[in-house]
């Protein structure tokens, strides 16, 4: 059980609560889920939660991936037809990132969210939720914050009810999902459902260093980018000398490279200090803060490492022509 617990909690920002997770792991096969709005390219921000689902799968959990077409529609991400086309591409990406297609249940929100019993539970929860609470829970993920529409109030309530109707024991998400998850933990028991354990992953800064990685902002590395594109994007990324905090290149090394490869290899001429094999996140932070690792050398090393990490994804897309055809032509 300790091995399974360590597998599920590694790399997380927080687990609410660890005691509940330990109790849950006494079950033979808990159910874990994560929901994704199909709206564009899948990037490293998504990859962290997908990897956590892979960990949960390895720990014996049943895994559900919710391709949240209705949620995306409520969040003004396009027509339902456009969103569902992108959902097919998303599913290919998640399999390419390591989810076992035979052991993963991919579901559209519209498969169950339009049923009367689902709608009734949303209305029951609405009776017991303030407008302020619902709006606050959407603050990190809503598209229209200055002039919110009614959909932004429905969104978090639907997301909470999703967990109940999918029979979820563990909800996975970025830390920006925390307020929505807390609505679920607080409100679901009053409707007769169990509250989920919540596993939160860190958010990655975008390439510009100014905001979280987002397909709508264009500040991302897509998991199916070719090596030349990755190199170009990393080369232009925000990476000030000696600055470790909120440095996106340091973050990609910490949360993507080290978990996948276990080290970062820096190739540089002897006149600039020679080659380095950095074995830990602490070491790279120390070297960079002390100005013993130049931004250019760090970028080249991280770029080469990311190309290696994403090699299985490129291979998957080459072997599945239908996956290549499903790529979205634009961000919704």
* Full strand arrangement of the beta sheet holding 62-67: 14-16, 197-201, 170-174, 31-36, 62-67, 104-108
Going from the C-alpha of 150 to that of each of 39, 124, 144, 176, the distances in angstroms are: 20, 17, 11, 20
Query: What pLDDT score does 269 carry?
Result: 87
CA 322 to chain centre: 24
Query: What pLDDT score does 216 carry?
Result: 72
Query: What pLDDT score does 166 carry?
Result: 97
Domains and CATH numbers, the chain: 2-201 (3.40.50.620), 227-309 (1.10.240.10)
Query: What pLDDT score does 328 carry?
Result: 75
Query: What pLDDT score does 331 carry?
Result: 64
Query: What pLDDT score does 4 carry?
Result: 95
> Closest by alpha carbon to 83, among 144, 36, 122?
36
Distance CA 302, CA 332 (A): 29
Give DSSP secondary structure letters for 154-182.
HHHHHHHHHHHHTT-SEEEEEGGGHHHHH
Query: What pLDDT score does 212 carry?
Result: 82
> Is-cis flag, bond preceding 17, omega within 30?
yes
Q: What is the pLDDT along the chain (332 residues), one digit of tens a residue?
A: 899 999 999 999 999 999 999 999 998 899 999 999 998 889 999 999 999 999 999 999 999 999 999 999 988 888 999 999 999 999 999 999 999 999 999 999 999 999 999 999 999 999 999 888 888 887 666 555 567 778 888 889 999 999 999 999 999 999 999 999 999 999 999 999 999 999 999 999 999 997 788 877 778 999 999 999 999 999 999 999 999 999 999 999 999 999 999 999 999 888 888 899 999 999 999 999 999 999 999 999 999 999 999 999 999 999 998 887 777 766 66
Give the pTM.
Answer: 0.92
Distance CA 62, CA 84 (A): 24
205, β-bridge pairs: 212
3-class DSSP state of 330: coil
Beta strands 14-16 and 276-278, pairing class: unpaired
Phi and psi for 172 in degrees, rounded to 5? -105, 140
Distance CA 33, CA 164 (A): 11
Chain position carrying tokens 């299985």: 312
Distance CA 309, CA 298 (A): 16
């Amino acid at each position: 059980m300790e091995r399974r617990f360590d597998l599920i909690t590694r790399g997380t920002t927080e687990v609410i609560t660890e005691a509940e997770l330990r109790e849950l792991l006494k079950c033979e096969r808990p159910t874990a889920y994560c929901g994704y709005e199909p709206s564009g390219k899948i990037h490293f921000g998504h990859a962290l939660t997908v990897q956590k689902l892979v960990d949960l799968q390895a720990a014996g959990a049943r895994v559900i991936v919710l391709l949240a077409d209705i949620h995306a529609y409520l969040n003004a991400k396009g027509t339902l037809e456009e969103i569902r086309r992108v959902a097919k591409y998303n599913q290919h990406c998640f399999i390419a990132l390591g989810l076992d297609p035979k052991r993963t249940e991919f579901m559209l929100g519209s498969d169950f969210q339009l049923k009367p019993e689902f709608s009734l539970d949303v209305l029951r929860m609405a009776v017991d939720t303030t407008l302020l609470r619902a709006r606050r829970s959407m603050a990190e993920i809503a598209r229209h914050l200055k002039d919110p529409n009614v959909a932004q109030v429905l969104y978090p309530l639907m997301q909470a009810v999703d967990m109940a109707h999918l029979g979820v024991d563990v909800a996975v998400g970025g830390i920006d999902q925390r307020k929505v998850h807390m609505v679920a933990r607080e409100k679901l028991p009053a409707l007769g459902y169990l509250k989920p354990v919540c596993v939160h992953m860190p958010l990655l800064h975008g390439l510009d260093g100014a905001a979280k990685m987002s397909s709508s902002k264009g500040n991302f590395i897509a998991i199916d980018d070719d090596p030349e594109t990755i190199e170009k994007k990393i080369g232009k990324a925000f990476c000030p000398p000696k600055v470790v905090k909120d440095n996106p290149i340091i973050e990609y090394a910490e949360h993507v490279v080290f978990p996948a490869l276990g080290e970062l290899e820096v190739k540089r001429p002897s006149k600039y200090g020679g080659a380095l094999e950095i074995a830990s996140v602490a070491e790279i932070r120390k070297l960079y803060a002390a100005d013993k690792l130049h931004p250019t050398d760090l970028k080249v090393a991280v770029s080469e490492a990311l190309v290696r990490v994403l090699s299985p994804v490129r291979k998957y897309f080459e072997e599945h022509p239908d996956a290549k055809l499903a790529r979205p032509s634009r961000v919704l």
